[in-house]
Chains A and B, each alone.
Chain A
Amino acid sequence: MMSLKTQINFKLNGQPVTVTVPVTMNTLTMLRDELDLTGTKYACGEGECGACTIRLDGKTINSCLMYAVDCDGREVVTIEGLKSGETLHPLQQAFVDHGAIQCGFCIPGMIMQADYLVENNPDLDRARIRRGLEGNICRCTGYTKVLDAITSVVESRE
């Protein structure tokens, strides 16, 4: 089976990249296998768990559901692109400080979704955060500390 390949250009974590990918490849696989950005996780492959969440032109998407070629000309941010220099992103720091991380496998997706929620909801409260996280499964934490962490970031911005 020969897979047709095509070259795409896009912005990845602020840097322009050019990759040649099979047209059937999804974005998650491209990030992990072609670009070595393994922070974005596979946990279901069918849009049900949120472990593969990335930002695409500001929105959050499940990268397991999107073809890699559809990244062409767009702007992608992954968990690796969140911290600036040596400093953790405020959400990353809050997750660490609040004990919201156990096995951590869901956390990159969780933080990407939280980042979107915080950025786009001027009156984000605990109930809205809950709703906003409903597509992100965590099997370890029971979400309580995740909610604490995100709430603390929302409160500190006020």
Chain B
Amino acid sequence: MNKKTIATHIEKTTLIGQRVRKPDAADKSTGKTRYINDLVLPQMLYGKILHAGRPHAQIVSIDTTAAEQLPGVHGVLTGKDVAGLKFGFVRDNVALKETVRCEHDEVAAVAAETEEIASQALGLIKVEYKDLPGVFSPEDGRREDAPLIRGDFPGNKSLHFAFEHGDLTAAEAESDIIVDNVFKVHHVTHCCMGTSCAIADFDNNGKLTIYSQTQYPYNYKMDLAPALGMHPGDIRVIQPPVGGAFGSKLDVYPYEPIAALLAKKTGRPVKVLYTREEEFKSAPTRQPAVIHMRTGCKKDGTLTFRSADVLLDNGAYTSWGPTIPVVMMRTVSGHYRVPVIAYNAQAIYTNNPYAGSFRGYGNVQTTFATAQQIDMLAEQLDMDPIEFRLMNAQKPGERTPQQAFLRECALDKCLTTAADATDFVTRQKEYGLLRNSDSRYKKGIGIASSIHNAGGAKIHKSDGCGTMLKVDDYARATLITGASEIGQGIDTVISLIVAEELGIPVEHVTLMNNDSDLAPWDVGVHASRTTFIAGEGARRAAVKARQQILNAASTFAEISADELDLRDGFVVRDKEGSIVIKLEKLLRQMHFQPEPELVMVTDYYEPNSEPEGADHISNMSAAYSHAVHIAEITVDTWTGEIKVDKITSAQDVGRVISRAGLEGQTEGGIAIGLGYALTEDMQLEDGMLKNPCFRDYKVITAPEMPELDLHFIEDGCAEGPYGAKGAAELPTIVIAPAIANAFYNATGVRILSTPLSPEKVVRALILAQQADVSSSDSMATAAVS
């Protein structure tokens, strides 16, 4: 008979920074996971939306009689059914429209037994439109004679943001070099693989349960309520697994109240699920903008000022897109030490699709400008490009003009790590010398850096997160958090943290975070905040539970709690690792003693940051971090194709928690950034999307993915869990300007607009050649917008 040998000593180990399997990965690998797109409720009807398919029009009449009479149709809604139910950031949206302001505007909606019947019913709705002249660029929209898109917003003016610091005129006067460019950044969209979906269901007490892809369940209730004329407290949000979000689900979009209104009308659950074409046309975009930026410096390389005048294409409604100046100005004022700042941003309503939040949130756009101008200055100064950046790099303890406090700051380390790993300075020189060779293929290397909030972003009054944790009689832990899982891997981070503190296997931690009736307050997955804030909340809750357990163990074993530790499902003596008692046994003893005790703790973590005020002077994040990307590219000067050979990234992450998760976020972030830089482009003609499919809207696929060399700088962070900082957005932010700078290195030509598509590259090269021929200056360079 085998006697089971049990170890008597357990070594101390740590899970922090280890590779831990994502808890839901096995089910996702087998097709078992039921995404929201897969869900079917009993008695469920299918909702379909009639989109206007024109950019600007008055609805003269709408006749739904035939649709209503079609067998299998249970309800039809039009604009008159939702009159007055305005929602959105500035209450400028309504679920169903009476005036059309963009191509995808929702005109009518049908609920039917099947999707086919619903589609057929849409075809039976007769709408008479009176087309109106449209506005398709912010430049046109602000002209005095521009058609007015909304009576309540004179001059088509949407949101406006400004920040000034220091004396601009004086700073300009003392500058030896000033670079002055207009950058243009374009429309792209999230392309979540799971298309947009909502399922709404009312109970007989009038309470709405909405199955949603939202990534901010709490404020979602508040934002959805006015679209339904309900109290937010009567809405329960269930978040089944989703096929990606990337910021796109940080707002309420019309299809969601439409699902709810159809459910209310029919008394049955209603599911609305977009086709890919609808997704392209109706999902939010990244905010496009025209950025007029100027940066100055002295002969010795000291930066003197930076000014930015930004014009944003608001689109037809105001979602999160036009609020990106709040983040843009942080980079304008904080990317390197810039003493004088003048920032101004105006969003203009147009009849284009409207922008929401998208991973990188404004910083993708700004960094395209700042990082190219830094590159231009380094060249004009004829300084070592890394030296120039290092001398202007902010140091730990510094503040930006907006009072962002860089308690920890590893920009210099990011710069030297990436530069050393690529032999950047030498190779940049070499490639620069070869740019006038006859070779069809030209090589280039480019560097870019940026700063991003890495400890949340206090754009609401609170940036906190609530956590509840119980440890049951079997030593299994359940953690309930407000933080959502959208594929990014907070489930891994939190399980790992709880397992670390309680000394139990990661697999023994269950995460509950998909039901707003259960989970406490959180402001959502955005601003690279979740690992930092929900992770810290989980750590604090786990520490409390751990202390309760250790105290009980101390009483039981008559050993001071300080001398005990939890490892591998046991209470052990901290120093020797010798076993004191099995954890589950202790937990049962705690429970069944004369004065019973259960391990159930709560925590509310509010990060140490200040709300972003109207003056934009505050330390709005509890931490900030930097990243540097170096792109190595090959340009085919005949076809205009840019092949990215390698990306070297150095990013200040504070400390790695879930290593595979962090790498995955970085790699995926780079892929999205690459698409923005090179291939993705929503082709809009008079507000109409010409390429609503993956064939014509080209996202990065496996063959285009370059070799990656990732360096994580782990200098810690006083506030974050175990020293970690938020990390998921920077990889998307720095890539486009690194490529643009590499392109300049390869060809001597600047491209100042995204994307660097083959057509644009060829055009730029031809223009540069012509300019070169007609110019006496053989070093002439050209800039193309």
Contact = CB atoms under 8 A, between A and B. Distances in A.
B703 interface: yes
Contacts, number: 187
Nearest to B664: A99
Given A51-B193, A138-B193, A38 B24 contact: no
A145 B693 contact: no
A26 interface: no
Given A98-B660, A142-B667, A144-B708, A41 B37 contact: yes
A130 interface: yes
Interface stretch (B495-503, B587-595, B669-677, B743-751): B669-677
Nearest to B39: A38
B38 A105 contact: no
B6 interface: no
A146 interface: yes
A48 B695 contact: yes
A139 interface: yes
A80 interface: yes
B703 A134 contact: yes
B466 to A, nearest CB: 25
A38 B693 contact: no
B22 A147 contact: no
A133 to B, nearest CB: 4
Interface in B397-448: none
Contact of B241 (A43, A100, A104): A104
Contacts of A140: 193, 244, 487, 664, 668
Given A134-B702, A141-B668, A147-B702, A95 B246 contact: no
Given A46-B695, A142-B671, A39 B705 contact: no
A48 B116 CA distance: 23
Contacts of B31: 37-40, 78-80, 108
A43 B38 CA distance: 12
A145 B245 CA distance: 20
A129 B705 CA distance: 12
Interface in A43-88: 43-46, 48-49, 51, 78-80, 82-83, 88
A80 B699 CA distance: 28
Given A96-B25, A103-B194, A105-B35, A143 B705 contact: yes
- From B38, B245, B668, B700, name the one whose CB has the most chain A CB atoms within 10 angstroms: B668
B755 interface: no
B488 interface: yes
- From A37, A82, A107, name the one whose CB has the most chain B CB atoms within 10 angstroms: A107
B250 to A, nearest CB: 16
Contacts of B195: 42-43
B192 interface: yes
A130 B275 CA distance: 28
A65 to B, nearest CB: 13
Contact of A142 (B190, B193, B669): B669
B22 A38 contact: no
Contacts of B705: 130, 142-144, 147
B347 interface: no
B701 interface: yes
A104 B694 contact: no
A103 B487 contact: yes
Contacts of A41: 35, 37, 193-194, 243
B275 A141 contact: no
Given A138-B193, A139-B193, A101 B667 contact: no
B740 to A, nearest CB: 20
Contact of A105 (B22, B190, B194, B670): B194
B109 to A, nearest CB: 20
B32 interface: yes
B667 A139 contact: no
A139 B703 contact: no
Contacts of A40: 31
A92 interface: yes
8 nearest A-B pairs in the assembled complex, by CB-CB distance: A39-B31, A103-B487, A104-B28, A99-B660, A105-B243, A142-B667, A142-B671, A79-B31
Interface of B: 19, 21-22, 24-26, 28-35, 37-38, 116, 120, 190-195, 241-246, 275-276, 486-489, 660-661, 663-672, 693-695, 699-703, 705, 708
9 contacts: A48-B695, A80-B30, A99-B663, A101-B24, A108-B29, A131-B702, A137-B193, A138-B668, A145-B667
